[in-house]
Amino acid sequence: MRWLAGPVGRAASTRSPLFDAIRGAAARVTTPLLPDDYLQLANPLWSARELRGRIVEVRRETEDSATLVVRPGWGFDFDYRPGQYVGIGVGVEGRWHWRSYSLTSVPRRNDKLISIAVKAMPDGFLSGHLVDGLPAGTVVRLAAPAGNFQLPEPPPRRVLFLTAGSGITPVIAMLRSLDRHREMPDVAHVHSAPRPVDVMFADELDDYSRRYHGERPDEGRYRLHVQLTRSTGQFTPADLDATFPDWRTRETWACGPAALLDTIEVFWAANGLRDRLHTERFELSRADVSGRGGTVEFGVSDRSTTVDGATTLLEAGEAIGVRMPFGCRMGICQTCVVPLAAGHVTDLRSGRQHAAGELIQTCVCSPAGDCRLDL
């Protein structure tokens, strides 16, 4: 059975050994065309080789952000946890571009839809396209849910959420889940946005504030402080003594721009609370370094490309159609780790050089001269 199911469907296993075996057997009798090729002609979501999804709805959240509702195809694991993210691959001008987005949906037994919420970055390539340019019906590629930015089960009794901008997305999934399961603990939430109209999910947050007063011990409590940065300046952790004086008693989840998270981490460490802080970063913290650039050879795929020192090996491979393993795309999850077969690369976070034989993370390394990966 394992032999039959083996070569096809690893990316999109159905969790049904019998179905995988039938699919595996079919693959052998329909070679060179795989059953997948016929299935995709009937419905582009029926792919056993890769996870796919279809955009069902793009719903505006604020001027520059939108929720995208996606119906995943075969093989998607709906057993994800609030706070986790998915990879989404979008075809633009003949190339697939991948980014990660936190899931804003909560897994439900009978609801086979997921959602993400994207804020358009002014200089970003894909986010603006996702917010403004993706019509319902578009087929996208998906990478399985991943990430450790999650609440434990049961949630702690006292929680602090610190979010800014689109950093609210994993936290809205947690709040939705707590609300749906009637498990709202005592939550204090500081969210930063430039103006009231920029607050994503504003009505929903107000609704939680109205409904969870904590008057009865079993009721739960949700208190929100919105920091409007354009009128009242940036939030700093030192403000917490005034806003939520009991913040030290709370386990904290924080997500927002890198500079804010850096400050929060230093502050929590200085207060001896680092192990009660959980952070999620949306952007790669690059040191002020770049590799030299060079030609990257992908030995197994028999392809090569020449890139500059700011381009990661992951981006370089994807641009020429090499199947590259990845998860977070920012140096956290280790999914992209491969041995460097030849040459040298630079870790863009630290400037550290790696030589042939070392394990490297392709999502944060760029070539330092010519190099080779056995991918």
Ligand X SMILES: Cc1cc2nc3c(=O)[nH]c(=O)nc-3n(C[C@H](O)[C@H](O)[C@H](O)COP(=O)(O)OP(=O)(O)OC[C@H]3O[C@@H](n4cnc5c(N)ncnc54)[C@H](O)[C@@H]3O)c2cc1C
Q: Which residues of the shown chain bind ligand FES in the complex (CB under 6 A)?
A: 326-329, 331-336, 361, 363
- Beta-carbon contacts of 41 under 8 Å, excluding residues fewer than 6 positions away, are none
Which of 22, 113, 121, 202 contacts ligand X by CB under 6 A?
121
Helices (H) and strands (E) in the chain, counts: 10, 17
Indicate whether 282 belongs to the interface with ligand X (CB under 6 A): yes
Indicate whether 98 belongs to the interface with ligand X (CB under 6 A): no
Q: Which is nearer to ligand X, 36 or 315 (CB)?
A: 315
Q: Which is nearer to ligand FES, 48 or 332 (CB)?
A: 332
Indicate whether 124 belongs to the interface with ligand X (CB under 6 A): yes
Which of 27, 178, 330, 363 contacts ligand X by CB under 6 A?
330
Listed ranges 113-121, 197-205, 293-301, 349-357: which one lies at the site for ligand X (CB under 6 A): 113-121
Binds 326, which of ligand FES, ligand X, none (CB < 5 to 8 A, cut-off by type)?
ligand FES
Indicate whether 99 belongs to the interface with ligand X (CB under 6 A): yes
Indicate whether 214 belongs to the interface with ligand X (CB under 6 A): no
Residues 72, 75, 79, 85, Cα dihedral to 10°: -60
Contact indicator for 277, 247 with CB cutoff of 8 Å = no
73, burial (CB in 10 Å: exposed 0-12, middle 13-18, buried 19+): buried
Binding-site size, ligand X (CB under 6 A): 24
| Ramachandran region, residue 269 (left: φ > 0; alpha: ψ -120 to 50; beta: rest) | alpha
Contact indicator for 224, 189 with CB cutoff of 8 Å = yes
Contact indicator for 35, 58 with CB cutoff of 8 Å = no
Binds 169, which of ligand X, ligand FES, none (CB < 5 to 8 A, cut-off by type)?
ligand X
- Beta-carbon contacts of 131 under 8 Å, excluding residues fewer than 6 positions away, are 58, 64, 65, 66, 118, 119, 120
Binds 334, which of ligand FES, ligand X, none (CB < 5 to 8 A, cut-off by type)?
ligand FES
Q: Which is nearer to ligand X, 133 or 339 (CB)?
A: 133
Instruction: Give the nearest residue (CB) to ligand X.
Output: 124
Q: Which is nearer to ligand X, 48 or 131 (CB)?
A: 131
Give me the least distance between CB of 146 and ligand FES, in Å please: 8
Angle at 146 between CA 144 and CA 151, to 5 degrees: 140
Indicate whether 200 belongs to the interface with ligand X (CB under 6 A): no
Which amino acid is residue 340, in one-letter code?
A: L
The structure tokens 């924080």 sit at: 254
Indicate whether 328 belongs to the interface with ligand X (CB under 6 A): yes
Indicate whether 101 belongs to the interface with ligand X (CB under 6 A): yes
Q: Using CB under 6 A, which residues numbered 33 to 92 contact ligand X?
A: 85
Q: What is the CA radius of gyration of the chain?
A: 22
Give me the least distance between CB of 60 and ligand FES, in Å please: 30
Which of 47, 62, 67, 102 contacts ligand X by CB under 6 A?
102
User: Rounded distance, CA 311 to CA 160, Å?
Assistant: 37
Cα 262 versus chain centre, distance: 19
Give me the least distance between CB of 118 and ligand X, in Å please: 4
Cα 252 versus chain centre, distance: 19
CA atoms within 13 A on the CB side of 226: 19
Indicate whether 166 belongs to the interface with ligand X (CB under 6 A): yes
Binds 119, which of ligand X, ligand FES, none (CB < 5 to 8 A, cut-off by type)?
ligand X
Q: Which is nearer to ligand FES, 188 or 336 (CB)?
A: 336
- Site residues (vs ligand X, CB under 6 A): 85, 99-102, 116-119, 121, 123-127, 147, 166, 169, 257, 282-283, 328-330
